[in-house]
Amino acid sequence: MCLHKFGSELYANLQGECLLYARTQLSEINKEQDETENGTVLTATRQFWTQYTQQLAVIRCVFLYLDRTYVLQTANTPSLWAMGLAVVRQCLEDSGMAVRLARLIVQEIARERDGATVDRAMLRVLTQMLVDLNLYSQYLVPRLIEATREHYERESRRMVGRLVPVQPAGAQNQMDVPLYLDHVKRRLTEETDRTAQYLSASTKSTLLATAVGELIEKHTDHLLATSFDDMLAQDCVADLGNLYTLLESVARLDMLKRHWAGYIKRTGMALVQQPDLDVALVTELLALKQRLDNVLAQSFAGSESLAHALREAFEEFINARRNRPTQLIAKFVDQCMRTGSRMAPDQALDALLDRVMVLFRFIQGKDMFEAFYKRDLAKRLLTNKSASKDAERAMLQRLKQECGAGFTNKLEGMFRDIEASEDLAGKFAGSASAAGIGSMSFHASILAHAFWPTYEPMDLVVPKAAEEAQNAFTEFYGETHQGRNLQWQPMLGTCLLKVEFDEGPKELALSVVQGTVLCLFGEADELSYTEIQQNTSLDDATLQRTLQSLACGKTRVLTKEPKGKNVDSTDRFIFNKAFSSPQARIKISQIQTKGAEKETKDTEERVQFDRMYKVDAAIVRIMKARRTLSYTDLLTEIMAQLKFNASATELKKRIDSLLEREFLERDDNDQSVYKYVA
């Protein structure tokens, strides 16, 4: 027939037959009114489609020749297979059955979402049919997405409205945010599974985006505001991980970041502002940092942006209370250095100090830390209280990395001074100069003024034996170190006295000032305040503090007339022969409180003074190079040069002071411009 040019006629006949068959079958199915779950429209359509495609395949085989010749040679004539499908598409569209089928499929999906079991195999055939007929994206997708949106909008509104505050994991009897997140995750898994089972793969991303958009995105604010802090406080690592993944999928990590930073600032600020926390603050801050680092790594995929927010928040609250945290961190390191591996095994101590250095990095006033650290190091070295030389050296190495060699050079100088002093002590003991000092052992630490903290000079007439030893040492020192002056610093020295009580001899470990006062009682049993002051030339504050430690503390080697807690200039002091103690060697601590506070204040003031000097030097340096600069440009340049934070008002004061001292002058034409005066 094809050979006789009947191809066209044959093709038209086949098309007509297909159309007739499909139209009859489908309109029969479409008559069914029952649309409930047991309705037959979907099953019948599936049956029709299976048969129809089978028959179409047979027709294609029989009319293979037609398909290969006439169809190929004639333009705008689809293959027999395509023609067959087009016929069905036309029937479905013309009869409105395409809309009806899509609606019924969506209805089945809704039933499945509500927990019913549906015929997934049937749905797979039907959606595939719609895809093959090119009806899927036009008829099914918009309805499916709209239904999905409505479903999850309803569901999330109902659930989110009833969420309770975060409860301990495992003890939840009502839905809280962690449970809700679990639910959302489950829903998304179901939707993924659904697309894999009976929807086109191309629908997956839109479907999930719609669901998560309703379930999470629309409630982001509420979820974060009600429960994020609690989840962090309760360390819900897994739930926070869920939250992160979900917010990431709706591009709402910016909100997470805001709440994250807010939580850290609030929690940190509360710790820093607590007045009675003291050194425990450092432990608390370390614990907080570790907890947050863990969340960051485990829950937030180590996000660089959240890590940055963490650092910023720490920096903000640590510096909120001026120098207090700085001091406490220095003090914490001091404690570690004193107790060493007694506090933690070496490795743990190393790790602990590494973590402390992380806190240290947040501190803006590094110079303040340096001053406190140096003061504590000086004490450790002079009283031989360092637990381990290795630990000290390792700490020095850390500081070198953080603060540069300019700072650690001085600290290294301190260590060298102590070593050199040991050396000198050995040489002195064997020298002729030491011959006259008798059985007493004498040791001098010689400090280079440039390395050590500045100590207020103190007047003290030391006992004759000690003075002779000091003079002998000075003479010995002068022989090998020409051109140097030694200045004895009695407030730093210590001594060991052997004192005879009725009970027997005791060894007392004392400061040089305490020892000097007690030595006076070697020759007298009773002395007045004035007599002691005349013999030692101590100032009132120091003398009162010292007598208090000897006569009013726990270890009373002196008694006071009249009795009392405080020392008065009219008091009399009596050697306490009856003193008794089970120990043979007793250390009598100095009265610390006032002294320590003053020392802290002095250190702070010295740093402030240094800063003032550094600001002046920076201004002069800049102006010398630039000659003229506007006020704002000058401020920017100063800030860039300083290692510490200075406020604009503080800087303005220094500029004014330099104007007064005529290092600078104002420009005649523009008052906001400064000129360098050579």
Among the candidate windows 181-189, 263-271, 467-475, 537-545, which touches another protein by CB under 8 A? 467-475
| Residue among 101, 102, 499, 664 that touches another protein (CB under 8 A) | 499
Smallest separation, CB 468 to another protein (Å): 10
With binding defined as CB under 8 A, does residue 415 bind another protein? no
Smallest separation, CB 460 to another protein (Å): 11
With binding defined as CB under 8 A, does residue 80 bind another protein? no
Pick between residue 246 and residue 371 the one whose CB is nearest to another protein: 371
Q: How far is CA 666 from CA 232, 628, 631, 638, 673, in A?
A: 55, 9, 10, 18, 6
Task: Give me the phi and psi of 499, to 5 degrees please.
Answer: -120, 130
Smallest separation, CB 497 to another protein (Å): 6
With binding defined as CB under 8 A, does residue 497 bind another protein? yes
With binding defined as CB under 8 A, does residue 554 bind another protein? no
With binding defined as CB under 8 A, does residue 443 bind another protein? yes
Return the HEC string of 97-120: HHHHHHHHHHHHHHHHHCCCCCCH
Half-sphere exposure of 373 (CA within 13 A, CB side): 27
Binding residues with another protein: total (CB under 8 A):
54
With binding defined as CB under 8 A, does residue 519 bind another protein? yes
With binding defined as CB under 8 A, does residue 535 bind another protein? no
Q: Are 507 and 498 in contact (CB under 8 A)?
A: yes
With binding defined as CB under 8 A, does residue 496 bind another protein? yes
Please state, in angstroms and rounded to a whole number, the distance separating the CA atoms of residues 203 and 249: 17
| Residue among 159, 209, 492, 635 that touches another protein (CB under 8 A) | 492
Pick between residue 18 and residue 447 the one whose CB is nearest to another protein: 447
Among the candidate windows 116-124, 213-221, 480-488, 666-674, which touches another protein by CB under 8 A? 480-488
Smallest separation, CB 427 to another protein (Å): 15
Q: How many CB atoms lie within 10 A of CB 425?
A: 17
Smallest separation, CB 456 to another protein (Å): 12
H or E element at residue 504: strand 504-511
With binding defined as CB under 8 A, does residue 512 bind another protein? yes
Please state, in angstroms and rounded to a whole number, the distance separating the CA atoms of residues 642 and 253: 35
Smallest separation, CB 423 to another protein (Å): 12
With binding defined as CB under 8 A, does residue 471 bind another protein? no
Two structure tokens written together for 53: 């495609």
Smallest separation, CB 491 to another protein (Å): 8
H or E element at residue 137: none
Q: How many CB atoms lie within 10 A of CB 264?
A: 22
> Cα torsion for 644, 649, 653, 655, to the nearest 10°?
70
With binding defined as CB under 8 A, does residue 461 bind another protein? no
Among the candidate windows 148-156, 324-332, 489-497, 647-655, which touches another protein by CB under 8 A? 489-497
User: Is the backbone of residue 181 left (phi > 0), alpha (psi -120 to 50) or beta?
Assistant: alpha
Please state, in angstroms and rounded to a whole number, the distance separating the CA atoms of residues 311 and 463: 56
Give the footprint of another protein on residues 362-401 (CB under 8 A). Answer: 382
| Residue among 232, 318, 395, 518 that touches another protein (CB under 8 A) | 518
| Residue among 152, 314, 575, 676 that touches another protein (CB under 8 A) | 575
Among the candidate windows 31-39, 233-241, 447-455, 564-572, which touches another protein by CB under 8 A? 447-455
> 482 by DSSP, 3-state: which?
coil
Q: Are 178 and 166 in contact (CB under 8 A)?
A: yes
End-to-end CA distance of the chain: 114
Q: How many CB atoms lie within 10 A of CB 108?
A: 19
Among the candidate windows 20-28, 76-84, 210-218, 513-521, which touches another protein by CB under 8 A? 513-521
Residue 95 burial by Cβ neighbours in a 10 Å radius (0-12, 13-18, 19+): middle
Q: Which of 554, 463, 557, 440 minimizes the C-alpha distance to 501?
A: 557
Pick between residue 16 and residue 404 the one whose CB is nearest to another protein: 404
Kindly state the DSSP code that residue 374 receives in the 8-state scheme.
Answer: H
Pick between residue 165 and residue 522 the one whose CB is nearest to another protein: 522
Query: Which spans of this chain sit near another protein (rule: CB under 8 A)?
Result: 382, 405-406, 409-410, 413, 416, 420, 440-452, 455, 463, 465-466, 469-470, 473, 481, 483-490, 492-500, 507, 512, 515, 518-519, 521-522, 575
